[in-house]
Amino acid sequence: MLEVNVLNKTFGDQQILGSCRLRLQAGERLSILGPSGIGKSTLLRIIAGLDADYAGDVSRPEGIAYMFQGPNLLDWRNCYQNLLIFHPHASQKDAQTALEQVGLGDKGVSYPRQLSLGQQRRLALARTFLSQTDLVLLDEPFTSLDPKLKGEMLELTRNLLNQSGAALVHVTHDAVEVDILGSQAVEMCGNPATLHYQVADE
């Protein structure tokens, strides 16, 4: 379903990633652990197809959803519009259902500036899961949240993953997130960073 074979990635003269290989099956969940700055987000961008400047190859499914560290919402569009502009084949009824799933059922015509930080994160989560997707990529979206909100967001994410059946690649430096999401953990380490993972019985 997802096969990653990155040989190296550089920024200028600096090599950031060395050999990074992973293979993920449909519905499988993987969390990539490692300290800040080691290259986790860089690898995630390569997996998503947002960065093509690397040596190697990636085979990915068509349906990919990406949740960034920040909500990345369009301030001049309301909640419905923030969902539908990224999912043009979805209906407003679909958008309403997605909002209800994350506890924002009454916020469809509200704008991001009218929402709390927690509500903005929930809207970003609804956008991630609005359409059927094969692979969800999470780039530390729970960073900087207070413990209560972080716990709520992790529970919501796990429930939405269970409902959708999507595979997951999640980067973090917090092992607690791995346990709550029910994913397999692999450590990114070295300089340049390396990573190797595939299903254990293959």
Crossing angle of the two packed helices 117-129 and 92-101, in degrees rounded to 10 = 130
Q: Above 50 in pLDDT, residue 202?
A: no
How does residue 145 score in pLDDT terms, banded at 50, 70 and 90?
Answer: confident
| Per-residue model confidence (pLDDT) at position 170 | 97
Query: Is 28-53+61-185 assigned to CATH 3.40.50.300?
Result: yes
Q: Are the CB atoms for 22 and 184 separated by under 8 Å?
A: no
Number of other residues whose CB lies within 10 A of the CB of residue 31: 23
When pLDDT is averaged across residues 146-150 and rounded to a whole number, the result is: 89
What digits encode the pLDDT tens for the residues 115-127? 998 899 999 999 9
When pLDDT is averaged across residues 11-19 and rounded to a whole number, the result is: 93
Q: Above 50 in pLDDT, residue 183?
A: yes
Number of other residues whose CB lies within 10 A of the CB of residue 157: 24
Order across the sheet with 193-197: list the strands. Answer: 55-59, 2-11, 14-24, 193-197
Domain ranges, ordered by start, for the chain = 28-53+61-185
The DSSP annotation for 20-88 comes to EEEEE-TT-EEEEE--TTSSHHHHHHHHHTS---SEEEEE--S-EEEE-SS----TTS-HHHHHHTT-T
When pLDDT is averaged across residues 29-41 and rounded to a whole number, the result is: 93
Percentage, residues of the chain above pLDDT 90: 82
Residues 100 and 168: their CA atoms lie apart, in Å, by 22
How does residue 143 score in pLDDT terms, banded at 50, 70 and 90?
Answer: confident
Number of other residues whose CB lies within 10 A of the CB of residue 170: 26
Closest CA to 171 of 58, 8, 62, 48: 48
| Per-residue model confidence (pLDDT) at position 198 | 80
What digits encode the pLDDT tens for the residues 52-96? 999 999 999 989 999 998 899 999 999 999 999 999 899 999 999
